[in-house]
Amino acid sequence: MGFIESRQSEARDRAFVGRMYRMRMLGLVLSGLAVAAVLHENGTGPLAWALLLLNVAAWPHLALWRARRSRMPREAELRNLVLDSALGGAWVAVMQFNLLPSVLLMALLTVDKVGVGGWRFLGRTLPPQFGACLLVSALLGFPVQLESSMAVVVASLPFLVGYPLALSAVMYALAHRVAQQNRQLERLNRIDVLTGLPNRRHWDEVAGSELARYLRSRRPAVVMLIDLDNFKEVNDAHGHAAGDEVLRRVAQVLRESVREIDTPARYGGDEFVVLLTEADVRGARDVAERVRTRFLEIRGEAAVSEHCTLSIGLAQADRLLVNADDWVRRADAAMYGAKAGGRDRVNVA
């Protein structure tokens, strides 16, 4: 794993730990109200009250400390969640299986685990949960008091309503963040990193759609294919950093020279392509000449010393084109005609 990937993984783990800390704090406070109502009705002794206070007030901070000091915070937090399940099972036994708070506690502990790690993680937490419940119940003599009084029902309502709402908000925020990241990833997959122009994948889709539009409406469109003359010599004599700068200069010229409705792209290597919509060959030639001459003005010393120029081929859409690849091949043939004619010029198919 590279340095950047490692730092991103650490950031995700820290965010996960922080998110679980906040949910644990909220869950323990709300469930603690229901447990306290049952303890009060059952006349439970001071030891159980002290343990409840420690669980609610101290355990979230201890769990956070354990996860943050670990070399693997996510794994440490997963262990904390297993312990959460065991503690929940123990409190069910202490409450003598009082029906409403016990069902709420077990159900929301289950939802938590499925949300964090799926069914496999739930399977990992169920044995300690049920084991702790049976053990504590056995130590207490297996007392059972299923009836939930109105006071217990009222004390359970904040847990019943508040925690699912908070959990839903967290899940929504996570889903929204994932959707944003997916959109960003999709956008990056369509952008050439070096030049910032759309890449070939994106351009092929746009060109295919434009050709289909032409076949329906006969609205004109032109493909401009651009090749850098003597680009290899720039790389060989001045290094790839100089070559990359020349490519960026071409991209700059294209952004300056075409309209918003046009689509410039890096087609691959030292080739660029532009889809000129609502343009005929005459207008496209004017744009191509503007691109060619503007590049001569800003191409840089390395390109000047190696006579690096642009050979440009133009191809207008017509009914004989089968697909976008045919369109590009026609522009490519025109571009090679420009090279054969002496380079640094525009040629029309």
User: Could you state, in order of their start, the residue ranges of all structural domains in the chain?
Assistant: 3-188, 200-348
Write the pLDDT tens digit of every residue in 51-104. 999 999 999 999 999 999 998 999 999 999 999 999 999 999 999 999 999 999
State the DSSP H helix or E strand holding residue 109, giving kind and residue range, or none if neither.
helix 99-140
Residue holding tokens 């994106």? 202
Q: How far apart are CA 311 and CA 238, in angstroms?
A: 21
Q: How far apart are CA 164 and CA 60, in angstroms?
A: 19
What are residue 315's phi and psi, to 5 degrees? -140, 125
Write the pLDDT tens digit of every residue in 129-169. 999 999 999 999 999 999 999 999 999 999 888 888 887 88
Give the residue from 302, 311, 223 showing the smallest Cα distance to 265: 223
| Residue 53 CB contacts under 8 Å (≥ 6 apart), including other chains | none
Nearest 5 degrees, angle CA 167-CA 168-CA 170? 65
CATH 3.30.70.270 fits 200-348, yes or no: yes
> Is residue 135 exposed (0-12), middle (13-18) or buried (19+ Cβ within 10 Å)?
middle
Which tokens in the block code for residue 66?
């354990």
Which tokens in the block code for residue 323?
């697909």
Q: Tell me the pairing of strands 310-316 and 221-228.
A: antiparallel
Q: How far apart are CA 97 and CA 117, in angstroms?
A: 27
Mean pLDDT of the chain: 91
Q: What is the pTM of this model?
A: 0.59
Residue holding tokens 């020279």? 257
Q: How far apart are CA 127 and CA 225, in angstroms?
A: 66
